[in-house]
A and B are shown apart, each in its own frame.
Chain A
């Protein structure tokens, strides 16, 4: 299982997304690698990701990737990420 967390520059919201996704996965008891990426890298190298976590503005720019796109409204909100990751993983 590979998850990528994407934001424009790869240093802001993607870092918070990655941290909270790791916490959420631990709580769900799921093993997965989470990588924070900037938009350009994600577009070029994100094809192997099973799940793509990002915010609403960037969703249209990542539609070309085969993985499941999961829109996160508030990247600092662990409960939102846990709930959306859990439903994306079919749990």
Chain B
């Protein structure tokens, strides 16, 4: 059903019920999951934090959801996603969509190869049932089952 999401989330890219007390910690989690699944180098994580410091909370893209990302470049190994759910919500400073409960890490090799992936991402996360399921989930296997 969401086969592009399933494929974009490599092994080690889903972290559930994580503790984070700051935006930087949220990005570290999302970034480390991208590194663990071989999508990015650790430097990409630093770039995501720099983007946030420069441009502010615009990356909070939907209610309770942040889409952490930096620019395509040498620190992106392949296009992919990571998915982090937080045990306690974190304030990102977004007037419209705080607090953040889900952080999605995005790495893209260029500006348009992941358009279909973004379509599936928005379709999946626009569905409140899916979001609530994720927030309750403690097993990666059960999250995977939702995509298949």
A interface secondary structure, majority: mixed
Residues of A within 8 A of B95 (CB): 56
Closest approach, in angstroms, between the C-beta of A44 and any C-beta of chain B? Answer: 15
Residues of A within 8 A of B118 (CB): 12, 15-16, 19
What is the number of contacts between chain A and chain B, taking CB atoms within 8 Å? 66
Is A76 a contact partner of B55 (Cβ separation < 8 A)?
no
Residues of A within 8 A of B54 (CB): 8
Closest approach, in angstroms, between the C-beta of A8 and any C-beta of chain B? Answer: 4
Over the window 57-69 of chain A, the binary record of Cβ atoms lying under 8 Å from chain B Cβ atoms (1 yes, 0 no) is 1100000000000
B interface secondary structure, majority: mixed
- Classify chain A: how many residues form its interface, as a range: 20 to 34
Give CA–CA (A69, B61) in the complex, Å: 19
Is A74 a contact partner of B62 (Cβ separation < 8 A)?
yes
Chain B residues with a Cβ under 8 A of chain A: 51, 54-59, 61-62, 67, 69-72, 95-96, 106, 108, 111-112, 114-115, 118-119, 122, 125-126
Chain A residues with a Cβ under 8 A of chain B: 7-13, 15-16, 18-19, 36, 38-39, 55-58, 73-76
